[in-house]
């Protein structure tokens, strides 16, 4: 019983491990950070050429 | 189109399609045919997801939209990265763990068969119509180039894609899309370079942006909140988030793409790639349209970009009136060009007062040109009430075929074809998957052999292909194609997303409650669209929230009755 739970836990950890940036949380933070940077850049772009 | 362009077009198309078909030659079972054996790496998944969304419409209609409406359409994609994050956290792990073929299979496991069937039916209706419109877009190109009736080109395009998808299935779709996107990116950079290169010597890239900006074309961000404004930052983030979440999370044409990933991590990375690349890519395509607009401030543009409609009025009783309008348009352009040159001088001298004066004059001259264009379209309608007076989809195509050098034309036309083939093939493949898995296998033939399901999948692809061709015949009446596809999606996606969100997050709601909630919500959305209650992007939010709200209320009433 305990071994099955351990295996399930290990699978879950394996799934949570991202091949880049150490964890999926960091990957999602990168995506949101890039989105914010793009919006700010486009806003400045619009203002500059207005 | 020259002989060399035809050669480049043919070689590009044949080599890429041939590669996809060759890679899929060992497809022998239903899992290989519908999901490429679930063995693809992340970059394959990411490019395939992007190629499915980027249809020919993206490369025909979006630059046209940049030309007429500026950059504001880019805001429509702001919700996409956020939707990718939610998909990675919630949808992908569940779909992978349940080992499903279609997203709707999950709904039967969570609710019941009627909810699964209703959702799959709404998807088939929406995707069948949308894929029909995507067949129409490249048919415009062939019709313009070969100068033949568009109905013949619709049939030709449709039959080629049907043949290729029927043979290769999902594996051929994915392998072809990998190379399609590489060629598409290369071609887009080439197109942007060529537009800038064709500007007058005294006009730099930065000057071109300044001119476009002074003519209100670089309106990438609009922070004003207005529910009736189609594109602002709020409708993009909130409405766009719901639309993209519905599209990528519940539309089988996309779910089928990332289910081909060989693990949860590979599927997730594919969607993350899409989240990072999509907005810059869309911005770039719109910017090409804006640059084409700047180009035509220095060069005479046709009064109307659709040559077929122009030729029709030139051979009618109104030909003299049209000729007069064309003359007036040329004079208006010459006047505008003088003002634009003054604006360039003012920009070079960095004199703010001169810039403002020149900008006012250029805008007034542009207004005059547009008024003449409007008169021309009114004349076309007078001549033929059924005339297609929206030429947005023809602007970029006209620019490619009349302004670009030999060789580049062939490559850019190939890109439009490739994009169209990628999204059409995914569409047909997903329609076949849903019909076979959610209807044929579930309701009619539960215990058939793999070979029998494979054969049925191929026949279903043919039938859906023919249906989409029929839809394409009527697509010319819908105006701007990219907007038409998004409006169509918004009519159904909100309801479908609502069903999935109830499934994921509202554990106490039963199948019966969500089923009736979805029916009521969909009826309201159709009513809201017919009565023009709000801008279409908000229909996604409203549909989704209505399903969740009604499902909660119906469940509450059902529970009370059970207690009584």
How do residues B472-491 score in pLDDT, each as one tens digit?
Answer: 888 766 666 667 777 888 88
Rounded to the nearest angstrom, the gap between the alpha carbon of residue B48 and the centroid of all alpha carbons in its chain is 15
Question: Domain check: are B123 and B185 in the same one?
Answer: yes
Chain A residue numbers with beta carbons less than 8 Å from the beta carbon of B218 are 45-46, 49-50
- Taking residues B67-79, report their average pLDDT: 93
Any domain includes B555: no
pLDDT tens digits along A28-45 = 999 999 999 999 999 999
C-alpha separations of B176 from B2, B183, B274, B383 in Å = 26, 11, 18, 44
Question: Domain check: are B63 and B150 in the same one?
Answer: yes
Is the pLDDT reported for residue B453 higher than 90? Answer: no
The CATH number covering residue B241 comes to 1.20.1730.10
B86 has a chain A CB within 8 A of its CB: no
Any domain includes B504: no
Any domain includes B484: no
Nearest Cα residue to B416 out of B196, B110, B136: B136
Question: Domain check: are B234 and B344 in the same one?
Answer: no
Q: Which residues are paired to A17 by β-bridges?
A: A23
First to last CA, chain A: 67
DSSP class of B440:
I
A10 vs B336 pLDDT, higher one: B336
Please give the pLDDT value at position B479.
Answer: 60
Question: Domain check: are B322 and B253 in the same one?
Answer: no
Any domain includes B499: no
Please give the pLDDT value at position B529.
Answer: 87
Provide the mean pLDDT of chain B.
Answer: 87
Nearest Cα residue to B144 out of B373, B396, B333: B396
Is there a contact between B136 and B532 (Cβ–Cβ < 8 Å)?
no
- Taking residues B153-159, report their average pLDDT: 81
ipTM over 0.95: no
| Domain definitions of chain A by residue range | 2-49
Least confident of B79-88, B128-137, B274-283, B291-300: B128-137
A28 has a chain B CB within 8 A of its CB: yes
B169 vs B547 pLDDT, higher one: B547
Please give the pLDDT value at position B80.
Answer: 96
Question: Domain check: are B178 and B245 in the same one?
Answer: yes
DSSP class of B28:
-
Please report how many Cα atoms fall inside a 13 Å half-sphere around the Cα of residue B144, on the Cβ side: 25
Any domain includes B482: no
pLDDT tens digits along B175-186 = 888 887 888 888
Using only C-alpha atoms, chain A has a radius of gyration, in whole angstroms, of: 20
Nearest Cα residue to B161 out of B179, B147, B173: B173
What per-residue string of b and e applies to B531-559 under the rule 16 or more CB within 10 Å gives b?
eeebbbbbbbbbbbbbbbebbbebbeeee
- Taking residues B100-121, report their average pLDDT: 91
- Taking residues B357-365, report their average pLDDT: 91
A43 has a chain B CB within 8 A of its CB: yes
B28: confidence class by pLDDT, cuts 50, 70, 90: confident
What residue has token string 């970029």? B396
Any domain includes B559: no
- Taking residues B85-111, report their average pLDDT: 91
Q: Which of B136-140, B180-184, B523-527 has the highest mean pLDDT?
A: B523-527
Is there a contact between B380 and B309 (Cβ–Cβ < 8 Å)?
yes
Is there a contact between B443 and B475 (Cβ–Cβ < 8 Å)?
no
B419: confidence class by pLDDT, cuts 50, 70, 90: confident
A8: confidence class by pLDDT, cuts 50, 70, 90: low
Please give the pLDDT value at position B533.
Answer: 78
B105: confidence class by pLDDT, cuts 50, 70, 90: very high
Please give the pLDDT value at position A5.
Answer: 57
Any domain includes B529: no
A8 has a chain B CB within 8 A of its CB: no
How far does the CA of residue B222 sit from the closest CA of chain A (Å)?
8
Percent of all residues in chain B with a pLDDT value above 90, rounded to a whole number: 45
Is the pLDDT reported for residue B553 higher than 90? Answer: yes
How far does the CA of residue A49 sit from the closest CA of chain B (Å)?
5
Least confident of B145-149, B276-280, B365-369, B380-384: B145-149
Question: Domain check: are B319 and B258 in the same one?
Answer: no
Question: Domain check: are B275 and B404 in the same one?
Answer: yes
B210 has a chain A CB within 8 A of its CB: yes
- Gap between the Cα atoms of B393 and B479, Å rounded: 9
Question: Domain check: are B232 and B167 in the same one?
Answer: yes
Question: Domain check: are B132 and B209 in the same one?
Answer: yes
Helix (H, G, I), strand (E, B) or coil at B554: helix
- Gap between the Cα atoms of B297 and B307, Å rounded: 20
Cβ-nearest to B74 among A18, A35, A42? A42
- Please name the residues in contact with A20: beta carbons below 8 A apart, sequence gap of 6 or more: A27, B269
Please give the pLDDT value at position B487.
Answer: 81
A10: confidence class by pLDDT, cuts 50, 70, 90: low
Total of domains in chain B: 2
Is the pLDDT reported for residue B160 higher than 90? Answer: no
Please give the pLDDT value at position B294.
Answer: 95
What residue has token string 């020919």? B56
Neighbours of B463 (CB within 10 A): 14
Question: Domain check: are B103 and B141 in the same one?
Answer: yes
Is the pLDDT reported for residue B335 higher than 60? Answer: yes
- Gap between the Cα atoms of B280 and B174, Å rounded: 23
Where is the domain boundary, B435, B458, B474? B474
What residue has token string 């060992």? B26
First to last CA, chain B: 76
- Taking residues B123-131, report their average pLDDT: 89
Chain B residue numbers with beta carbons less than 8 Å from the beta carbon of A19 are 265, 269
Neighbours of B122 (CB within 10 A): 20
Question: Domain check: are B132 and B255 in the same one?
Answer: yes
Least confident of B281-295, B298-312, B320-334: B298-312
- Taking residues B367-392, report their average pLDDT: 89
- Taking residues B308-330, report their average pLDDT: 92
Please give the pLDDT value at position B25.
Answer: 77
- Taking residues B339-352, report their average pLDDT: 90
Any domain includes B511: no
B564 vs B448 pLDDT, higher one: B448
| CA dihedral over B440, B442, B446, B449, signed as positive or negative | positive
- Best interface-test mutation with A: which of B94, B275, B356, B363 has the largest number of A CBs within 10 A? B275
Supply the range of the domain harboring residue B163. Answer: 3-296+399-474
Percent of all residues in chain B with a pLDDT value above 70, rounded to a whole number: 97
Question: Domain check: are B365 and B247 in the same one?
Answer: no
B9 vs A26 pLDDT, higher one: A26
């Amino acid at each position: 019983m305990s071994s099955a739970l351990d295996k399930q836990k290990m699978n879950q950890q394996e799934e949570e491990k991202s091949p880049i940036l150490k964890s999926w949380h960091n990957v999602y933070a990168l995506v949101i950070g890039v989105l914010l940077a793009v919006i700010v850049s486009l806003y400045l772009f619009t203002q500059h050429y207005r | 189109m020259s002989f060399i362009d035809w050669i480049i077009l043919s070689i590009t198309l044949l080599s890429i399609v041939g590669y996809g078909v060759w890679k899929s030659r060992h497809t022998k079972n239903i899992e290989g045919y519908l999901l490429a054996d679930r063995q693809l790496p992340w970059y394959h998944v990411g490019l395939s997801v992007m190629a499915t969304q980027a249809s020919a419409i993206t490369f025909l209609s979006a630059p046209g939209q940049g030309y007429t409406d500026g950059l504001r359409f880019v805001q429509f994609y702001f919700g996409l990265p956020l939707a990718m994050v939610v998909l990675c956290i919630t949808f992908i792990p569940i779909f992978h763990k349940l080992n499903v073929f279609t997203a709707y299979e999950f709904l039967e496991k969570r609710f019941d068969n009627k909810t699964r069937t209703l959702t799959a039916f709404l998807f088939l209706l929406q995707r069948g119509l949308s894929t029909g419109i995507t067949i129409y877009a490249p048919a415009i190109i062939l019709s313009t180039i070969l100068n033949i009736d568009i109905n013949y080109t619709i049939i030709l395009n449709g039959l080629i894609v049907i043949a290729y998808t029927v043979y290769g299935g999902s594996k051929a779709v994915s392998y072809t899309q990998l190379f399609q996107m590489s060629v598409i990116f290369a071609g887009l950079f080439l197109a942007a370079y060529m537009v800038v290169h064709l500007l007058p010597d005294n006009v730099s890239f930065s000057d071109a942006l300044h001119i476009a900006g002074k003519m209100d074309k670089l309106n990438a961000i609009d922070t004003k909140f207005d529910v009736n404004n189609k594109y602002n930052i709020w409708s993009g983030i909130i409405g766009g988030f719901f639309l993209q979440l519905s599209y990528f999370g519940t539309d089988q044409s996309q779910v089928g793409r990332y289910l081909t990933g060989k693990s949860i991590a590979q599927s997730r990375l594919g969607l993350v790639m899409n989240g990072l690349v999509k907005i810059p890519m869309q911005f770039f395509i719109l910017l090409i349209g804006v640059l084409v607009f700047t180009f035509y401030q220095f060069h005479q543009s046709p009064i109307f970009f659709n040559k077929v409609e122009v030729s029709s009025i030139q051979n009618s009783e109104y030909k003299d009136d049209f000729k007069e309008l064309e003359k007036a348009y040329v004079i208006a352009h010459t006047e505008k060009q003088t003002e634009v040159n003054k604006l360039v001088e003012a920009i070079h001298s960095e004199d703010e007062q001169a810039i403002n004066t020149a900008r006012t004059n250029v805008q007034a001259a542009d207004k005059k040109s547009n008024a003449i264009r409007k008169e021309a379209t009114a004349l076309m309608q007078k001549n033929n009430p059924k005339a297609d007076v929206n030429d947005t989809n023809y602007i970029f195509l006209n620019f490619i075929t009349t302004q670009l050098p030999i060789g580049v034309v062939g490559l850019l036309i190939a890109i439009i074809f490739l994009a169209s083939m990628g999204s059409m093939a995914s569409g047909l493949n997903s329609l076949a998957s849903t019909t076979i898995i959610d209807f044929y296998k579930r309701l009619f033939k539960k215990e058939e052999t793999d070979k029998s399901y494979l054969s049925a999948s191929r026949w279903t692809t043919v039938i859906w292909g023919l249906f989409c061709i029929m839809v394409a015949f009527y697509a010319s009446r819908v105006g701007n194609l990219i907007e038409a596809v998004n409006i169509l999606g918004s009519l159904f996606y909100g309801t479908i997303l609502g069903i999935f969100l109830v499934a994921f997050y509202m554990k106490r709601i039963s199948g019966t409650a969500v089923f009736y909630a979805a029916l009521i919500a969909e009826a309201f959305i159709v009513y809201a669209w017919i009565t023009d209650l709000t801008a279409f992007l908000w229909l996604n939010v409203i549909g989704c929230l209505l399903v969740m709200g009604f499902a909660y209320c119906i469940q509450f009433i059902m529970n009370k009755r059970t207690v009584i």
